[in-house]
Each structure stands twice: as structure tokens, then as C-alpha cells.
Amino acid sequence: MYLPKGFMAGATASGIKPSGKPDLGVVSFLGATAWAYVATTNRAAAPCVLRGRNLYAAAEPLRGLVVNSGNANCATGEQGVRDDLRLAELAAEFLEVEPETVLTASTGVIGVPLPINKVAQKIGEIELGGSLASFAEAIMTTDTRVKLSEQELPGGARVVGVAKGSGMIHPNMATMLAYLFTDAAIPAAGLRERWPAVVNRTFNQVTVDGDTSTNDMAAIFSSSLTEAEPGPFWEAVEAVARDLARQIAADGEGAEKLITVRVRGAYDEADARLAARAVAGSALWKAAVHGNDPNWGRILAALGYSGARFEPERAVIALQETVIYDGGAVPFNGVALSQAMQAAEVLVDIDLRSGEAEAEAWGCDLTEDYVKINAEYTT
């Protein structure tokens, strides 16, 4: 997949990952680039997040992005702050720009010093080009596949997105890095105004295991080289973000199935999002999906504790397009529905009958492999 006009990317293996796989990616912004940014709410946020917030508050254009994987550079004290700044400086030297115009990101194991000397030795080997493929691979940790998406707008502008995320995934945000690049001419103020709402409807509706990470961010960058209408632009942005969010959920650690929860008839969008997220994140429901068990009681229970306003006797729940609850138990063929749940995607459709708002959330089934992956993560 190729980047829009105004961007080039590349990656290398710097030796941060013991496996020797690619772990250092750079994106060059060929001119001053407008951007919008949302980061984790975790109070133990990594230096890259704290630095990113400061850059964002300064409201200056950017000229580059550097990401390392395999090491979160989090909970590493003052040395971690210095190492993050050095990461920016090394990328700036490579790109021939100023350090304060480079956004940094790190992802991986928490509490281990970042081997910044390895980065210094290898960053000069990166070859920049129009493809996003090598960068997408270099930012992965426990991901099993790259996550890319794109949309083209009338008039030729494009929106291209890349993300990583597999475990420690929960709203606000997740072990997730997500970056969207566009050449659409959208003012920086417009990006900043609308990007958080897109993130709330997409990336913050993904849950894998209920853990909110320390390093996460979602950003959009615009080179503003192609004229575009705001309406189609934001539709394309939301489509790319939604696609990446679904890819993250489907690649949850140990996952075999994507869970999609659609809620309609909610009092307002906030309630719809709460209800959808609660069901998608229910460990009991995730385990039931893994076992192909159409246990609607677990869905209803999650709705009940979600915080969304509704009356249980008015709600309707459908699973794989089969109604299983309508204000109370309704008869259904359990054997046939269990077989239908063996699909790659399990759809829960809920009508709260409390209003007009709707939302989606995405998760995955809870498997034995999730426990194995996380039991052995650092050993």
C-alpha cells in the first residue's frame, strides 16, 4: 500500500527485538504537515506520550514520525525521557529536520531501558520510499499481521492508515498505535476539532482484554497537497479508522473470531457506545463466543452494568441475525445457532428501544492461547 502525496516511509531491524525482526520505522513528511492527535489516558503514560502532548499543545506542524517496537520505554525514569528525546534527535538528523518537528512513539515491554545506541547505529540504513509495508511490519509486537487500510476521495485525494495492536486493548486507548496519512487539504483546526470524535467512535470502541496501555496514540497527518471536500474526507477518515479498529479486534491475542456488537435505539450516542463496549468486552461473553454458546444472559448482564439507560423488558437482542431475547426469553434453535457462531465473525445486534442513537464496538473471543501468550510475554 502506498502513501499519499507528501509522505515517504521506511524501516529496519535495529536489534531491539531479540527475534531480529524489523523494529524501527520512520515516516518523512516532505513539507510542514498539519496533524491531530489523541493519546492514552493511562496515568503511567510513557515519555513519548508526554512529549507528544507537549508538541500538540504547541500546535506547530510536523516533519516526521519515528516508531520503535519491542520496547515501550515506559517506567524507565529520567533516562527514559532522555532516550525518547534522543530518539527524536536521531530521526531528525536522518530526516534533516528539527527534533521538535518529529513525533516519537514506542511500543513493547514496559520497564526495560530503550537501547538507544542500537537505534543510533541502524537508523541511517533506512531506505525511504512510497510504500507503507515495511513501516507497518516494523511497528508490530504480538500482532500476527500488518494492518493497513485506504480510501480514495473524489478529486484524487487519499486517506491511508496503518495500525498495530493485538493485546492490552481497551478503550482510552489500547496497546495500539494508529496513524492516518492524507494529502487532502484540510485545515489543522478542522483536523483537531473532529479527529477526537472519530477516535471515540472507532479506536475507542475496540476491546480485547480490558487493559488500557501506557503508550498508545492515534494521529492523523495532512500534507494538504490535494483539494478535497470536507464531507467526503471525513467519511473516508471514519471508514479507514473503522476498518483498522476491526482489524485490531480480529487480531486480538489468541483470537479466532471477531465479535461485532451493534447497538441502536439508545438514549444518546454515549449510551450506545457504553452498551456496545460492555458486551464486546465481557469476559464471560467472549468465552461463550469461543465455545459457540448462545448464552444471551451474559449479553443482558453486560448491558445491565454498562451504565447505558434502558429498560430490560423493552430491549431486543439478536445473535447472528436470530432474535434470542425480546423483553424476555424467546424460543430459538440452540443447536443451529451454535453452529452459526462458528463463523469468523459473530454479530450481536441490540435494540434498546430507548431513543434514536446507535454505535458499534469490536472485540474477540477469549481463547486458551490468550493466556499462553501473556503468560510467556517477557520470558
Q: Would you please indicate which residues are annotated as catalytic (active-site) residues? A: 175
Q: Which three cell numbers stand for residue 325?
A: 431475547
Cα-trace Rg, the chain: 21
The DSSP letter of residue 238 is: H
Q: Which three cell numbers stand for residue 40?
A: 492514552
Please name which of 9, 39, 31, 58 lies closest in space to residue 183, comparing C-alpha atoms. Answer: 31
Q: Which three cell numbers stand for residue 328?
A: 424476555
Strands 357-364 and 322-326: unpaired
Q: Which three cell numbers stand for residue 128?
A: 525511504
Strands 217-226 and 177-184: parallel
Beta bridge partners of 26: 10, 66
Handedness of CA 23, 239, 309, 303 (dihedral sign): negative
- Cell 492508515, residue? 161
- Cell 500500500, residue? 1
